[in-house]
């Protein structure tokens, strides 16, 4: 048994993706074998603000000591067995402040960072590994600035964390998208329709671009470019006529907008602690618009549509091979950095090579599709050129 070296805390924040449990497993097994104790913090940052600093209090809903047995069982599955939330400890609404802290924190918005720091000390955590997107990791940047030894792991379906070519969950999302569109093709072809498929992507269009490049769709529209509905309809009608099965497919990022729209389409006005309202519905709106203008490009006849929002179907279930291998490597990279006494780092993939970067890269800029380089704005689809020396998911490179 290795000599005890300290305690590592690990948490998952934001949306669930396949690959989180393999990352938790990788960190835990390596850490235990190197002589560390591992604490799994439940429900992301929420678990850290809910802790009651009393040894007699039952905090099992907030954190748990992890063992090889526990993580081996979970490591082959999707989602996160530690659970997750979109909590932002620096911006907690009055209604969300834990009951035991309500007297002390009673403003409309409250910064509970002092409590988080005390809770980490109470739990005996020497190193903290948050796994999440730029929202979750932006608070990791704050904690590092406060003196916490943080090593971050990037995760998001949209693959939009700056500083890395790859985020856990992206490959499974692309794989699921391709498979599900192929399933839906039989209906689209049987009824000779245009199919509109809505996918994730608030600000970045990678989840629409990559499946389209792989042949899953004829066209795609992305948040980075405000498109013209008539032009899209013209192209889809052309695609439909050319197809022997008389159908065509467009992939639509949830954050995409067309000319005449003032903003993205939101399901409701309620916002999370990071200021994001839930997106969803652009697919339905676009379908109605396409049907409305389709006679102009179909000899005066309206074209019927199939509309499908893939939503949580692409983030549920087991991870694919890439989202099993990369989390394993990221977890071990995090341990390598801790053993070398490096902190304030983000583990990354760049041009096919594992590496690390300063953690504050996650707040330094927005990672978006380079429209001029990769997107054909007239044809409304990716450009198929200049692949030499590009990384695996080439448009995601820095």
Q: Which tens digits make up the pLDDT trace of 66-109?
A: 999 999 988 888 999 999 999 999 999 999 999 999 999 999 99
Give the HSE-up count for residue 178: Cα atoms under 13 Å, Cβ half-sphere. Answer: 15
Let me know if residue 266 belongs to a domain: yes
Alpha carbon separation from 216 to 157, 196, 283, 309, 319 (Å, rounded): 18, 12, 17, 15, 20
Q: Which tens digits make up the pLDDT trace of 305-359?
A: 999 999 999 999 999 999 999 999 999 999 999 999 999 999 999 988 999 999 9
Based on the domain organization, do 359 and 380 belong to the same domain? Answer: no
Of 40 and 261, which is predicted with more confidence?
40
pLDDT value at 279 more than 70: no
- Three-state DSSP state, 289: helix
| pLDDT value of position 396 | 78
Based on the domain organization, do 291 and 342 belong to the same domain? Answer: no
What is the residue range of 12's domain? 6-168+317-363
Contact 198, 222 (CB under 8 A): no
Based on the domain organization, do 231 and 94 belong to the same domain? Answer: no
We report the CATH number of the domain holding residue 200 as 3.40.50.460
pLDDT value at 293 more than 60: yes
Q: Which tens digits make up the pLDDT trace of 160-178?
A: 999 999 999 999 999 999 9
Based on the domain organization, do 288 and 328 belong to the same domain? Answer: no
Based on the domain organization, do 198 and 72 belong to the same domain? Answer: no
Give the HSE-up count for residue 257: Cα atoms under 13 Å, Cβ half-sphere. Answer: 13
pLDDT value at 398 more than 80: no
Residues 147, 265: Cα–Cα separation, whole Å: 39
At 128, the pLDDT band (50, 70, 90 cuts) reads very high
Let me know if residue 1 belongs to a domain: no
Q: How far apart are the first and last CA of the chain?
A: 42
Closest CA to 232 of 181, 294, 281: 294
| pLDDT value of position 397 | 72
At 45, the pLDDT band (50, 70, 90 cuts) reads very high
Based on the domain organization, do 142 and 247 belong to the same domain? Answer: no
Total domain count for the chain? 2
Helix, strand, coil percentages for the chain (3-state, nearest 5): 40, 20, 40
Based on the domain organization, do 113 and 244 belong to the same domain? Answer: no
Contact 138, 347 (CB under 8 A): no
| Alpha helices by DSSP H, the chain | 20-34, 45-50, 68-74, 113-123, 134-145, 170-191, 206-213, 229-242, 282-293, 322-339, 371-374
Q: What is the DSSP letter of 377?
A: T
Based on the domain organization, do 234 and 205 belong to the same domain? Answer: yes
Based on the domain organization, do 100 and 242 belong to the same domain? Answer: no
Catalytic residues: 158
Of 201 and 398, which is predicted with more confidence?
201
Least confident of 266-270, 296-300, 314-318, 392-396: 266-270
Kindly state the percentage of the chain with pLDDT values over 90. 86
Residues 255, 266: Cα–Cα separation, whole Å: 9
Q: What rounded mean pLDDT belongs to the chain?
A: 94
Question: What number is the average pLDDT over the span 207-222?
Answer: 97
| pLDDT value of position 39 | 98
Contact 83, 91 (CB under 8 A): no
| pLDDT value of position 386 | 81
Based on the domain organization, do 128 and 115 belong to the same domain? Answer: yes
247 backbone φψ class: left, alpha, beta (φ>0; ψ -120 to 50)? beta
Closest CA to 130 of 334, 319, 396, 358: 334
Question: What number is the average pLDDT over the span 30-45?
Answer: 97
| pLDDT value of position 265 | 78
At 271, the pLDDT band (50, 70, 90 cuts) reads low
């Amino acid at each position: 048994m290795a000599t005890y070296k300290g305690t590592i805390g690990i948490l998952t924040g934001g949306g669930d993706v396949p690959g989180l449990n393999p990352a938790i497993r990788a960190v835990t097994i390596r850490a235990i074998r190197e002589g560390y104790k591992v604490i799994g913090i439940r429900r992301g940052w929420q678990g850290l603000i809910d802790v009651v600093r009393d040894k007699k209090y039952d905090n099992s809903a907030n954190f748990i000591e992890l063992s090889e047995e526990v993580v081996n069982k979970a490591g082959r599955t999707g989602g996160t067995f530690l659970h997750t939330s979109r909590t932002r400890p620096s911006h907690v609404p009055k209604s969300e402040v834990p009951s035991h802290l309500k007297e002390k924190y009673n403003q409309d918005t409250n910064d509970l960072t002092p409590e988080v720091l005390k809770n980490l000390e109470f739990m005996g955590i020497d190193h903290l590994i948050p796994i999440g997107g730029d929202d979750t990791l932006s608070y990791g940047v704050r904690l590092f600035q406060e003196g916490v030894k943080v090593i971050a792991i990037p995760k998001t379906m949209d693959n939009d964390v700056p500083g890395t070519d790859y985020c856990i969950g992206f490959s499974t999302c692309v794989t699921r998208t391709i498979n599900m569109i192929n399933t839906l093709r039989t209906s689209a072809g049987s009824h000779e329709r245009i199919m509109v498929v809505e996918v994730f992507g608030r600000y970045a269009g990678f989840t629409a671009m990559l499946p389209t490049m792989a042949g899953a769709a004829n066209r795609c529209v992305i948040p980075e470019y405000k498109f013209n509905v008539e032009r899209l309809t013209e192209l889809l009608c052309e695609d439909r006529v050319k197809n022997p099965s008389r159908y065509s497919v467009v992939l639509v990022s949830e954050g995409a907008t067309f000319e005449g729209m003032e903003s993205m389409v939101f399901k409701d006005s309620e916002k999370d602690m990071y200021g994001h309202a839930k997106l969803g519905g652009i697919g339905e709106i676009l379908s109605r618009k396409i049907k409305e203008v389709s006679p102009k490009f179909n000899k005066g006849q309206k074209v019927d549509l199939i509309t499908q929002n893939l939503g949580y179907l692409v983030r549920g279930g087991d991870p694919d091979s890439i989202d099993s291998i990369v989390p394993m490597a990221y977890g071990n990279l995090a341990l390598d950095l801790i053993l070398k006494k490096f902190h304030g780092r983000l583990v990354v993939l760049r041009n096919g090579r594992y590496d690390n970067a300063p953690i504050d890269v996650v707040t330094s800029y927005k990672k978006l599709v380079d429209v001029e380089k990769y997107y054909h704005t007239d044809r409304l689809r990716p450009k198929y050129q200049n692949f030499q020396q590009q990384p695996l998911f080439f448009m995601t490179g820095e």
